[in-house]
Chains A and B, each alone.
Chain A
């Protein structure tokens, strides 16, 4: 459920330091720690939900998604595992292309930008988006549904960069990492890999622009990987290393972390053990009602207007259906313009709902024919939330 009851409250209990009143947001979470502070303290960012200041975890307040299909750069969510530089000169930045290649390279941004440009809209969503809404709750970054955003990314094809270096026969995958580095010596550097054919599909991008301007530093300035249709964990920020491997990547971040059950929607029953796990990868379709918040009191009327945003995951949005009776009956929504198969697509329509408590729902189906499940999927890591979101309202 995406509850957004904003109010003024004192700083979260458990903290010793500030006694000043601070604006916060109630994310409507069961199972503890339901509120978060709102912050304007981060560079190049407007008001964000503060999950953690260091390394920053900043969530997009859900109201932002009312404004349109594009998430503004200064409201785009932020997620870092490790500390990163806060002073970057893009003219001195270099990207090393190494490993199983004919010509190892050290490329400047200017050299990269001479390659053919590509540009498309794509949703960037944390694998753990919605984790704090899981029932039962699970440990991990406590996101509601705002660890996602849609931007127009611009840059060059990873394929073209790999071709400059000349991938040798027998290449298996491409490992990418950035300028962030662990605090403690011996902790695993953050690096993610794509299979060689995926890396060379002509869509995976090295992006230096986001919505027409340079990326905010917190979103990966000066260069980040864009893997459309896949979760954000692969969208490596402050990218400075591309390594072609002639073997599978056996690193921590591919073999131990970001693993989800190898089941449809990564769904297992709570308490299940011993299931096979695979790296999180492609995203699922999702739809979000944006014009009505949970807890809203709506006047009686024959039809209630509903609007929102849908995503198809790794393919476009085929359709969105709406329900005002908790999913017993459905009516198709009208879709807004197609702004790219990997981006958000607006939907609008109207639902009938009986007086009293009602649950309004939107259900997306993608071009591959995958529809959101009615029951929320669950796994112990809080990944791949994909079920239909219900907005509980009172019709008075």
Chain B
């Protein structure tokens, strides 16, 4: 015991060990799916906007204009290669800007 106590200060200043042990975690959290907003269907956003990110990305955005949401869809398509059919742009924007 006395030996252990004597070593303690050394242990505290010693360099951190290099990681040796495998780490395996599970991420089970899920933001869920989008709900219809009144009469505006969420089908298009559910089909197109959950492939690369969960719903939280959308639901934490401030109120944006249809033009701003259109720019976002263009970025998702052009940069992140989201396979969003052009015909879906209008119903996506309709839901995103619905009250």
B-contacting residues of A (Cβ < 8 Å)?
12, 14-18, 29, 31-33, 36, 39, 41-44, 50-57, 86-91, 109-110, 112-113, 117, 119, 132, 137-139, 141-142, 154, 182-188, 208-209, 212-214, 217-218, 221-222, 252, 256
B86 CB to nearest A CB, Å: 17
- Known contacts A15-B34, A139-B64; is-contact A217 B23 (Cβ 8 Å): yes
Cα distance A87–B24 when bound, in Å? 4
When distances are taken between beta carbons in the complex, the residues of chain A under 8 Å from B63 are 31-32, 137
Cα distance A353–B54 when bound, in Å? 45
When distances are taken between beta carbons in the complex, the residues of chain B under 8 Å from A52 are 31, 53-54, 56-57, 60
* A185 and B61 contacting across the interface, CB-CB below 8 Å: no
When distances are taken between beta carbons in the complex, the residues of chain B under 8 Å from A218 are 25
A-contacting residues of B (Cβ < 8 Å)?
15-35, 37, 42, 51-57, 59-64, 68, 72, 79-83
Cα distance A108–B6 when bound, in Å? 34
* A187 and B80 contacting across the interface, CB-CB below 8 Å: yes
* B20 and A91 contacting across the interface, CB-CB below 8 Å: yes
In-complex Cβ contact of B19 among A41, A117, A141, A208 (8 A)? A208
A396 CB to nearest B CB, Å: 32
In-complex Cβ contact of A209 among B16, B56, B57, B80 (8 A)? B16
Cα distance A109–B31 when bound, in Å? 35
* A117 and B15 contacting across the interface, CB-CB below 8 Å: yes
When distances are taken between beta carbons in the complex, the residues of chain B under 8 Å from A209 are 16-17
* A14 and B51 contacting across the interface, CB-CB below 8 Å: no
Give how many A-B residue pairs fall within 8 Å (CB-CB): 154
Could you list 29 A-B pairs, sorted by A, with CB under 8 Å? A15-B31, A15-B35, A16-B35, A16-B42, A31-B62, A31-B63, A32-B62, A32-B63, A33-B59, A44-B25, A52-B54, A54-B54, A57-B56, A57-B57, A86-B24, A86-B27, A87-B23, A89-B22, A90-B18, A91-B20, A113-B18, A119-B15, A141-B57, A142-B61, A142-B62, A154-B15, A187-B79, A214-B17, A252-B79
When distances are taken between beta carbons in the complex, the residues of chain A under 8 Å from B29 are 39, 41-42, 50, 53-54, 56
A78 CB to nearest B CB, Å: 11
Cα distance A142–B62 when bound, in Å? 8
Main secondary structure of the interface of B (DSSP, over half): loop
- Known contacts A43-B27, A87-B24, A90-B20; is-contact A14 B59 (Cβ 8 Å): yes
When distances are taken between beta carbons in the complex, the residues of chain B under 8 Å from A15 are 31-35, 55, 59
B36 CB to nearest A CB, Å: 8
A73 CB to nearest B CB, Å: 12
* A86 and B26 contacting across the interface, CB-CB below 8 Å: yes
When distances are taken between beta carbons in the complex, the residues of chain B under 8 Å from A90 are 18-23
A166 CB to nearest B CB, Å: 24
- Closest chain B residue to A109 by CB distance? B18
B44 CB to nearest A CB, Å: 15
When distances are taken between beta carbons in the complex, the residues of chain B under 8 Å from A183 are 51-52, 80
* A154 and B51 contacting across the interface, CB-CB below 8 Å: no
When distances are taken between beta carbons in the complex, the residues of chain B under 8 Å from A113 are 18
B39 CB to nearest A CB, Å: 15
When distances are taken between beta carbons in the complex, the residues of chain B under 8 Å from A18 are 32
A222 CB to nearest B CB, Å: 5
When distances are taken between beta carbons in the complex, the residues of chain B under 8 Å from A88 are 22-24
